[in-house]
Structure 1
């Protein structure tokens, strides 16, 4: 309950009036003359009080500047207090926009100003923020104001932003905050001038895949597939390019990936490009890629990155004949090779994936289970427990058997 303070309480009761208890459970003493000297309503609807006038409880006085809202319901407060509280307009001082944009609360305030303000306020803020755009674009809070400005900017203003960001776009593209601003710019590019500015800045490393003006980028990706697809950023560009390409352009990219499949599959970044082709490519592309990798499937299954490619091949093979060929290459070339796969920390997952793919064919699953069962005791303890647990859950007959007279199934291992 709000109470008058010790120094001014009695005088306040004499000069003012006491409000009855309101629905939110607060009572306030507001001096009748010049009420605006004691309480204000800010642009967010909070009611603020002058220092030393009110407190939340007798032992907690409000001292210092007006820094704490005390009444949460401005509509009710204005009605009960007779309209004595004056709403304060939202203000920001010219020359402070860049500094304000770096604080969470004031950044939101500036964004709200852009949303509700007119063209004059937009022009004023744009000219001020433009000077600090490279810094704000990579800032945790400033990037939101930059995105808001881009959204509300016409093409000629976006061109000014691109010129101001010259030399910084590549750096911002790999920044956790700046990448949002650059993506927003690329998304909204509509004029040849904007397109030319972005192309010049990225020097072929960025893709606005919606425009036919970027066909030369696809040519560059195809020619330098082995180099670009093994780069951390390049592999993402390659996947995006493949996703949005069509017709002969996609076919050219698929051929480039297939020709470099062996190199890409064992690379920490390149394997994602191969998996992308297997995920979104058509049957012809997938069949061609798997046939290229088929002779080395057993070796690829033993390696950290390429084992993921092998599992993807098993899941995305266009027909059962290719699945049988992959399984035969991995598991049916000899007991030594299968034992090596079962005991390998990566290879054993490829074997489990093959068994899941064969679930639709009972005969093939039983045949593969018969090949796998003799090697289960060879598994290292650290690998055996999760593998056996997964196999027992999916294929209990592989792990357990029940003999005549047994109350419970026996572990075959």
Structure 2
């Protein structure tokens, strides 16, 4: 019984097309003896060439032998060639599996001719001419969990690599890598080799690496391996080299922002800021950063760059960034990342700039107190223990303490007033408690999922006659509270404490 070769899925049909960057079918590069033309004869107009691309691996007699054996094995009649075009709405896994037949670096052409396979020279030739096709879909080729926000510059360079594992054995002399340093820098082992040259400290080696990488600094800053080399170089480069790198990185505002919002790029930029040596260099960075401060402040990676500037630069240098943040205070305060940056801005500001930031927050205290992220900003201002700022917030919230007590986020602000005695004066605390307990909606507060905690905190913070009044009001509502899931907690609170009336 004859054993048939399982080669049917090795080559695509003429009908197979790719989305995005289109690529001609494989038989356009070399003759596919498995496929038949419309007239029924085998397509052999263009044959695969190995090593010397001007010669054919098949002699005429070999081709005849192959065709006869293909016919004998009936591979041309395989159902794989009659299957419909792939559905690109399929799962990523199935899509990747269909894509797998095109991976030339892993493919071995197994035919009836036996012993025929693609060699490494042709592999390099294929990859260099078809990188746009091979990497048409970033999410598949970079893994199922690849960050979808990766910028195009990173993707383009990532797939432009030409340094291969079999070439790592040549990592012995830097001179042998002349003209290839950029490719080596994006390989894990190659990057480590170049870093070792920095540690050796030879000026000529450092200068050679710098000359080959300075025009590619932006690509390396976002590369998963190259960014470590950049950070290492920034620590040892001289003033002139730093200035050249800075110009290449910052001169293009859009490209600079893409670097800042990249996971690897953000770390590289922070290291760049750390090693700036002159005020002119810092002013140049600030002149560009102030135009992209708002989007960076709200970005998961970019906001670290802004925070680094606030910590490293002098007040005169960073006041331009602070003014931009003050102009967009509410937008930033209500952002997940921005609320952290805004708190740091208040900490690192002074004078009129600080007063402006605090004033913007205080004037919008009600809305911020009820916001998912904004409430943290209000609590931060209260924690500064600035009497005038605290009084301004109380004035803004006056008449709204009851609804705030029943708000998921606002209740945190109300409890901040009541728990921390050093924040406000006793008279201010009493006025807040009285507004809550003498409200016609006090029962609702006691029964509310969040309000009952405010009531318990109010009870703990009250004294003397105010506490007695609060106990009386709670006991008067006992029938409505003892069987209520939230109200009974307040009853247990007053019963579990020894009341000193």
Given the two structures, how large is their TM-score scaled by the length of structure 1? Answer: 0.61
Contact kept, 8 Å, 2:448 with 2:487, in 1: the verdict is no
Contact 1:290 1:313 in 2 (8 A): no
Whole-angstrom distance in 1 between the partners of 2:376 and 2:368: 8
Residue 449 of structure 2 aligns to a residue whose secondary structure is coil
Q: What's the counterpart of residue 27 of structure 1? A: none
Q: Which residue of 1 aligns with 2:284?
A: 197
Contact 2:215/2:248, CA 8 A, preserved across alignment: yes
How many residues in Structure 1 have an aligned counterpart in Structure 2?
303
CA distance in 1, matches of 2:413, 2:179: 55
Q: Tell me the distance in 2 between the aligned counterparts of 1:110 and 1:363.
A: 76
Q: Which structure is higher in strand share? A: 1
Alignment match, 1:133? 217
Is the contact between residue 223 and residue 256 of structure 1 (CA under 8 Å) also seen in structure 2? no
Partner of 1:238: 342
Q: Where does 1:201-350 land on structure 2 (aligned, <5 Å)?
A: 201-204=288-291, 205=293, 206=306, 208-209=309-310, 210-316=314-420, 317-334=423-440, 337-350=441-454
Distance (Å, rounded) in 2 between the aligned partners of 1:164 and 1:128: 14
Hey, what does 1:147 align to over in structure 2?
A: 231
Confirm or deny that 1:176 pairs with 2:281: no
What are the superposed Cα offsets for residues 133-161 of structure 1, whole Å, 9 maximum, x if unpaired? 33332344433332222222334333323
After superposition, the C-alpha distances for 1:151-203 in whole angstroms (9 at most, x for unaligned) are 22334333323322233332333333322222233334343432333223223
2:290, 2:321 within 8 Å by CA — same for their partners in 1? no
SS at match of 2:399: helix
Aligned residue for 2:393, secondary structure, equals: helix
Q: Partner residue of 2:482?
A: 377
Q: Given the superposition, is the C-alpha separation of residues 195 and 321 from structure 1 closer, same or farther in structure 2, using an over 3 Å criterion?
A: same
The 1:268/1:168 distance shift into structure 2, 3 A limit, reads farther
Alpha-carbon separation, structure 2, partners of 1:293 and 1:91: 70
TM-score calculated relative to the size of structure 2 = 0.51
Is this contact kept in 2: 1:158–1:194, CA < 8 A?
no
In the alignment, is the contact (CA less than 8 A) between 1:342 and 1:379 conserved in 2?
no
Q: Is the 8 A contact 2:185 2:191 kept in 1?
A: yes
CA distance in 2: counterparts of 1:314 and 1:182, whole angstroms: 43
Query: How far 1:90 moved relative to its partner?
Result: 6.4
CA displacement 1:257-296 (0-9 Å, x = unmatched)? 1112223223333333222212235232222222222321
Matched, 1:398 2:496: yes
1:324 CA displacement: 2.0
- Tell me: CA distance 1:318–1:161, structure 2 relative to 1, closer, same or farther (3 Å): farther
Contact 2:407 2:450 in 1 (8 A): yes
- Equivalents in 1 of 2:187, 2:226: separation in Å? 8
Q: Matches of 1:158 and 1:125 in 2, distance apart?
A: 14
Alpha-carbon shift at residue 342 of structure 1 (Å): 3.4
Cα separation, partners in 2 of 1:244 and 1:398, compared to 1, 3 Å: same
The unaligned stretches of length 5 or more in structure 2 are: 1-169, 294-305
Mapped contact 1:159–1:193 kept (Cα < 8 A): no
Q: What is the rounded CA distance, in whole Å, between the counterparts of 2:284 and 2:367 in structure 1?
A: 35
CA distance in 2, matches of 1:257, 1:238: 10
Q: Does the CA-based 8 Å contact 2:231-2:268 persist in structure 1? A: yes
SS of the equivalent of 2:243 reads helix
Contact persistence 1:114–1:122 (CA under 8 A): yes
In structure 2, distance between residues paired with 1:128 and 1:366: 80
- Once the 2 structures are TM-superposed, how far is the Cα of residue 355 of structure 1 from its aligned partner? 4.6
Residue pair 2:334, 2:373 contacting (<8 A) in 1 also: yes
Deviates more, 1:141-150 or 1:101-110: 101-110
**Within 1, Cα distance between the matches of 2:183 and 2:419?**
53
Distance 2:268 2:195 in 1: 15
Change (3 A) 1:107 1:331: farther
Deviation at 1:321, TM superposition (A): 2.0
